Amino acid sequence: MNTNINYKKAILQAGIEMQKRDLTVETWGNISLRDPETGLIYLTPSGMAYDTLREDDVCVLDAAGNAVEGTRKPSVEKMLHVLVYLKRSDVFAVLHTHPVNSTVFGVLHQGIPVVTDEMAQAIGGSVKCADYALPGSQALAENVVKALGNVQACLMANHGAVCVGRDIKECFKVATVLETSADIYQKALAIGRPVEINEENTVWMRDFAVNHYGQK
């Protein structure tokens, strides 16, 4: 096991952070981390308030979603996390949020085009809306993976959003950029016709953000 990271503690901290950032309400939403060394998935339990969780409450699953540690029932969206990790070898953290502005477009079953440079850099493409399926269902998990594709976020019809990253810090960055972009897009639609950033420029900015931006 990777001894450099306390994954259970990181899950607890992320739950508090998600609430502080108004990315969810009550016990909705869920968070997972994957240990690259063991493949184990650390996941929030079902229906427990984030500010009451202890490390023993965190569920530990194998790559197929089978429980290997813990006594709590895992999040109902367990298979969503499992399938994302199965399909995306570059992803080691998944943040499922219930933010207001992003969910507006989920209610409309409408995606969000790349309307800001920040969105191109952090998310890497337009954000699609996954087809509706019941919470916790295999169909919902499959729909999310399909909508996610190779970008860092997708919407869930009538539900919320899913943000992925190399770590939880990137997930929060993606979630914040998604929510801000959704707000900007709503306001732009109210005034006129928003102009999307084209694919060529989006690809360039995503590569720049991942491989060249900031300090080495």
- 61 pairs with which residues across the strands? 41, 67
213 or 14, greater pLDDT: 14
Looking at domain 7-211, does it have CATH number 2.40.440.10?
no
How much is the mean pLDDT over the chain?
93
- Give pLDDT, residue 1: 39
The answer on pLDDT for 2 being more than 70 is no
* pLDDT, average across residues 19-39: 89
- Give pLDDT, residue 3: 53
CA distance 120 to 57: 36
pLDDT in tens, 169-193: 999 999 999 999 999 999 999 999 9
Q: Where are the domains of the chain?
A: 7-211
Is residue 77 annotated as a catalytic residue, yes or no? yes
CA distance 117 to 195: 12
Neighbouring CB atoms inside 10 A of 51's CB total 9
Of 37, 69, 77, 179, catalytic:
77
Q: What is the pTM of this model?
A: 0.92
pLDDT in tens, 72-110: 989 899 999 999 999 999 999 999 999 999 999 999 999
% pLDDT > 90, the chain: 80
